[in-house]
Each structure stands twice: as structure tokens, then as C-alpha cells.
Amino acid sequence: MTMPVPTTAESRSKRSAVKTRARDRMREIRKHKHYFLLLAPGIIYFLLFNYWPMLGITIAFKDFRLMDGVLGSPWAGLKWFHLLFQSPDFWVALRNTVIISFYKLIFNFPAPILLALLLNEVYHTGFKRIVQTIVYFPHFVSWVILGGILFSLFSTGSGLLALFGQSVSPLMDPGKFRSMLVLTEMWKEVGWSTIIYLAAISGINPELYDAARMDGANRYHLIRHITLPSIAGTIVILLILRTGHILNVGFDQIFILYNPLVYNVADVLETYVYRVGITMGRYSFATAAGLFQSVVGLLLLLFTNRVAKRFGEQGIW
């Protein structure tokens, strides 16, 4: 068999087609030049403040010296990771991160669901709105402020400790500190987190309730068999996404509330990286620890997102 040899005319037309396509492309770009002009600052911003730091991650594999800069510092292989995995403090921080996150997940994930269900059962709109206004507010109180309030509230002189027969502030007690983390976060976020569930509940078709009531269903039945299944999709998606963030405990809360008495149970990866990096200036070592956290976090996130998508497509039940 002989291959069809392209004639000169054909190849010429092909070349000119490529040329016209390139010309069309150029025309498209010129036509959009104003849009590019608008977009440029934004893209430059992301390159400068997000991608340039990613380049800096290389110092986790280098002997970073400030004078030599990121590019000039000599490579060090996996030295910092070896040191990191041998450091007991790192393992304590990792362990605390997972434990605290897990506690928060167990208690602070279901709490807003329960609260949303209860709020939904309030028929008096005025009362409901007042309760909502009050329970949403702590979300806007920063941890610094909340820390100040808590130190005063749980100081030995406040009277609150005496009320519960305690003499040591739970914020200074390694046995109670993690519970305090869970409780204070619950105080701050439980109300605010109901918003998404209440929105999901308000999207339920009221005819479902009417039909069930006709069949003699009581309120428990309605909650159990209509409300809960209807928002189950939202719950599962949020649960999965939340699991993806298990390595992020939140720097502010821990940093504000912890103290030398509870370091052992409270130090998490975020505070560890801060202490080692910013306070002690061990940049390469801290970057290695941070990289470990963000890579494991990224893998978790990608995995949980995939699971969430799977559920989102197929429906839950």
C-alpha cells in the first residue's frame, strides 16, 4: 500500500489554516485586551502571594540561610524530615492535633444539627428570631476577646469555679483543657453553624409534612422521617468536608488559651510550626513540619472531596 503523499497545494492550505487559526487567536486576544488588563492585577497578586511562597517550600529540603535566600541556600536532602520525625515534640503536636480535632468533630459537628432541629420546631417567629440573633452573635467574637472573657470567668475569684466545687481553673488543668477547647468552640460556633441546616430545612416541601400529618404522624415522626432524611445529604457532605480539615485545629483558639501548664495536651501542629519557625527562627525545620501538615491535609481533602462528590451524585439513601 502506498501512503497518500500530500500535494504541495494541500500542505500549503494546511499551513495557511494554521496561520489563520493563529491569526484568529491573536484577534481574540486583542479583542479581549481590556479584560486582560482588568485581570492582570489579580493574577499577579496570586502569583506573588500564593505561588511565590510555594516556591519557598523548597527550603524544607535545604539548609536555609537568610543571607543566601531561598534559591542560594544549599540543598540538604531529607535531613529536616529525619530530624522532624525524630523529634518527640512533633509527635506530641501531631497527636494533639488529631485528638483535639476528633473531639471537636464528635461533639461540635452534631450540636448545630440538633439545635437547628429544635429551632425549626419553634412556631413563634418573634421568639425564634430573638434566639437566633443571640446564638449567632458569638461567631463574631474573636478568640482574643473570648480569651479575655474566659480567663476572667474561670479565674479563682470569679465565683464560677466555686459554684462547681472547683479550685483550679480548667484552663490550667491538663485533664480538662481539651474539654474546654471543645466547649468554648461550641459556644462560639454552634449557633452560626445552624444557618446552613436551617436553610436546608426551609427548602423541604411542606406538602410532605401535610401528607404525613394526614397519616397521623406526630412531631417526632415528622422529624425522624421527613426533616432528618431531607437534610441528610447536607449533613453527610459537611461531615465529609469537615473530615478533610482534621489537621487544622485553628491557631487562634489554641494560641490564645494555652499556657505552659497544658502544652503537653494542647500544642498542635499550627502552634508548633509557629513556635519553631517564627519564635526560634528554625525556618527550614518549621517549613518541613508545615509541609508535612499541608501535604497530608491536601491528600485528605482530595480524598474526602472525591467521597463527597460520589455521595452528591448518587444521593444518600
Partner 1 sequence: MIHSFSSKVFNCVNNVFLLLLSAIMMFPLWREISISLSSKEEALRGGLFLWPREFTFSAYRYILGTDYIWAAYGNSIFVTVVGTALALLFTSSTAYPLAKRTLPWKSVFSVIIVFTMIFNGGLIPTYLVMRQLHLINTIWALIALNLISAFNVIIMMNFIRALPEELEESAMMDGANPIRIFFSLILPLCKPVLATLALWIAVGLWNNFYQAFIYLNDKSLTTLPVLLRLIIVGQQQESQLGQASDTATESVIAATILVTLLPILAVYPFLQKYFIKGALLGSVKA
* 303: contact with partner 1 by CB under 8 A: no
Site string for partner 1, 227-256 (x = CB under 8 A): -----------x--x---------xx--xx
We find the least distance from the C-beta atom of residue 122 to partner 1, in angstroms, to be: 7
Return the residue of 11, 12, 16, 29 that touches partner 1, per CB under 8 A: 29
* 20: contact with partner 1 by CB under 8 A: no
We find the least distance from the C-beta atom of residue 279 to partner 1, in angstroms, to be: 10
| Alpha-carbon gap, residue 54 to 99, rounded angstroms | 29
* 268: contact with partner 1 by CB under 8 A: no
Q: Sign of torsion, CA 46 50 53 55?
A: negative
Nearest to 233 by CA among 302, 110, 317, 107: 317
255 grid coordinates: 494560641
- In the complex with partner 1, which residue's Cβ is closer, 12 or 143? 143
We find the least distance from the C-beta atom of residue 54 to partner 1, in angstroms, to be: 5
* 262: contact with partner 1 by CB under 8 A: no
Contact region with partner 1 (CB under 8 A), list: 15-23, 78-86, 99-107, 190-198: 190-198
Residue 219, amino acid: R
* 206: contact with partner 1 by CB under 8 A: no
Q: Sign of torsion, CA 148 154 156 159?
A: positive
* 213: contact with partner 1 by CB under 8 A: yes
We find the least distance from the C-beta atom of residue 3 to partner 1, in angstroms, to be: 36
Nearest to 64 by CA among 277, 290, 282, 295: 282
* 43: contact with partner 1 by CB under 8 A: yes
* 140: contact with partner 1 by CB under 8 A: yes
Return the residue of 96, 97, 108, 287 that touches partner 1, per CB under 8 A: 287
Nearest to 43 by CA among 56, 31, 52, 32: 52
Site for partner 1, residues 50 to 109, rule: CB under 8 A: 50-57, 59, 70
- Count CB neighbours of 295 within 10 A: 12
* DSSP output for 13-77: HHHHHHHHHHHHHHHHHHHTHHHHHHHHHHHHHHIIIIIHHHHHGGGGGB---TTTHHHHSPB-T
